[in-house]
Amino acid sequence: MSNNTIKWGILGSGWIARKFADALAVAQNCELYAIGSRTQTQADLFANDYPVSRAYGSYEELVQDKDIDVVYIATPHNLHLENTLLALNNGKHVLCEKPMGVNLRETNQMYGVAAEKNLFLMEAMWSRFLPHIIKAKELIDAEVIGDVRLLTATFCIRSENGPQHRHYNIDLCGGTILDIGIYNIFLSLFLFGKPENFSASATLSEQGIDTNCSCSFVYPEQKMSVMYSSFLADPEIVASIHGTKGSIELEHLWFCPGALKLKNKNGNDQIFSFDVKGNGYEFEAEEVAKCLLAGKTQSQLWTPDDSRLLSEMMDKIREQCGVVYPAHDYN
């Protein structure tokens, strides 16, 4: 950490790694320093497109680079535990893509090692840091829409990838719940906390991953969240929160930077829009940089307990839906 700049190493060179690298170009106090890939060829391809100082052909070499402050884990779900522990055991702070672990046991293990080593660890739940999501929470907490009765949230992408792709591959812990349904579940937990009760059902592929999933959370005072995710259909990806005095609508691609519409019973709509300088991933990167520069080992905005609750609920939902990852037992 020099001159208030955090040096990032990215572990894995796929789709999200590139988005995150774009964000680092505009994120305050952040420098994209190195890429680590399983192969030198992929590392070099990434280095052709992004201004990295180092391009490593193995994850081991990446985490051993003494100049890297924090490693961003951008690999499939089944590898988050292994890759995060590799970075932590080499003394690196970590931002790990969602979901943190495949289950609560893994998530606990990851935070346990980070605490033991006094290193920073956070789940990259990027929507938590977006201005319109923060505004929605503020409006709800201030009771601007009265008593909240219903949240509806969808996240569906028609995925035409083959059975080996991480969306569908059971060995890579595919399925909508961990991949995209997680955002709906996050939103409900972030806005309302842990539900009193829940129910879930899913359609399963031949491999046994969930291809469609619907779930609902029941809260005290007749409040409810209804959520669904799909790899087979592509309705609009929207979220709305309805209260006794009005409602909040988050537009298509609600989990990305966007606008928020506040509606009241008189039909007066108010639109809140926000300045965003990059693709939105810069907000989580800046939160990590802020924490590291302040010497913190966890974020107060997305805490280890927040990740644990998210893992716990996804375990319960998967259990009810019958989605089992053979190599990743719950216990």
Ligand X SMILES: NC(=O)c1ccc[n+]([C@@H]2O[C@H](COP(=O)([O-])OP(=O)(O)OC[C@H]3O[C@@H](n4cnc5c(N)ncnc54)[C@H](OP(=O)(O)O)[C@@H]3O)[C@@H](O)[C@H]2O)c1
Q: Which stretch binds ligand X (CB under 6 A): 76-84, 108-116, 131-139, 318-326?
A: 76-84
**Contact present, 151 and 224 (Cβ < 8 Å):** yes
CB-closest chain residue to ligand X = 14
The answer to the question of residue 75 lying near ligand X (CB under 6 A) is yes
Q: How far is the CB of 77 from ligand X (least distance, A)?
A: 5
Q: Work out the burial of residue 267: count CB atoms within 10 Å of its CB; fewer than 13 is exposed, 13-18 middle, 19 or more buried.
A: exposed
Q: How far is the CB of 101 from ligand X (least distance, A)?
A: 11
CB-nearer residue toward ligand X: 76 or 304:
76
d(CA 305, CA 269): 36
Binder of ligand X out of 27, 74, 189, 191 (CB under 6 A): 74
Q: Which stretch binds ligand X (CB under 6 A): 75-83, 108-116, 150-158, 220-228?
A: 75-83
Binder of ligand X out of 24, 33, 34, 76 (CB under 6 A): 76
Structure tokens at 170: 């059971």
Question: Which stretches does DSSP call E strand in the chain?
Answer: 6-11, 30-36, 54-56, 70-73, 93-97, 121-124, 148-156, 197-204, 210-219, 223-230, 239-243, 246-250, 260-264, 269-272
The answer to the question of residue 179 lying near ligand X (CB under 6 A) is yes
Q: Which stretch binds ligand X (CB under 6 A): 12-20, 60-68, 132-140, 294-302?
A: 12-20
d(CA 28, CA 14): 23
Q: Which stretch binds ligand X (CB under 6 A): 25-33, 72-80, 192-200, 264-272?
A: 72-80
CB-nearer residue toward ligand X: 140 or 172:
172
Binder of ligand X out of 77, 128, 135, 223 (CB under 6 A): 77
The answer to the question of residue 54 lying near ligand X (CB under 6 A) is no
If binding means CB under 6 A, how many residues of this protein chain bind ligand X? Answer: 20
The answer to the question of residue 9 lying near ligand X (CB under 6 A) is no
The answer to the question of residue 79 lying near ligand X (CB under 6 A) is yes
Site string for ligand X, 22-41 (x = CB under 6 A): ---------------xx---
What's the start-to-end Cα distance of the chain, in Å? 38
Binder of ligand X out of 13, 176, 188, 225 (CB under 6 A): 13
The answer to the question of residue 210 lying near ligand X (CB under 6 A) is no
Q: Cα 233 vs. chain centroid, distance in angstroms?
A: 21
Positions in 80-139 near ligand X (CB under 6 A): 97-98, 124, 126
Q: Tokens 């028609």, residue? A: 158
Q: How far is the CB of 257 from ligand X (least distance, A)?
A: 11
Structure tokens at 253: 């691609």
d(CA 239, CA 145): 15
Q: How far is the CB of 124 from ligand X (least distance, A)?
A: 6
Q: How far is the CB of 83 from ligand X (least distance, A)?
A: 8
Angle between helix axes 15-24 and 282-293 (nearest 10 degrees) is: 60
Q: Which residues pair with 241 in a beta bridge?
A: 151, 248
Does 51 sit behind a cis peptide bond, omega within 30 degrees of 0 on the bond before it?
A: no
Q: How far is the CB of 184 from ligand X (least distance, A)?
A: 14
Query: Which phi and psi angles does 87 have, rounded to 5°?
Result: -70, -45
Q: How far is the CB of 144 from ligand X (least distance, A)?
A: 28
Please give the full DSSP string across 84-123, using - where no structure is assigned. Answer: HHHHHHTT-EEEEESSSSSSHHHHHHHHHHHHHTT--EEE
Applying CB under 6 A, the residues found at the interface with ligand X are 12-16, 37-38, 42, 74-77, 79, 97-98, 124, 126, 166, 172, 179
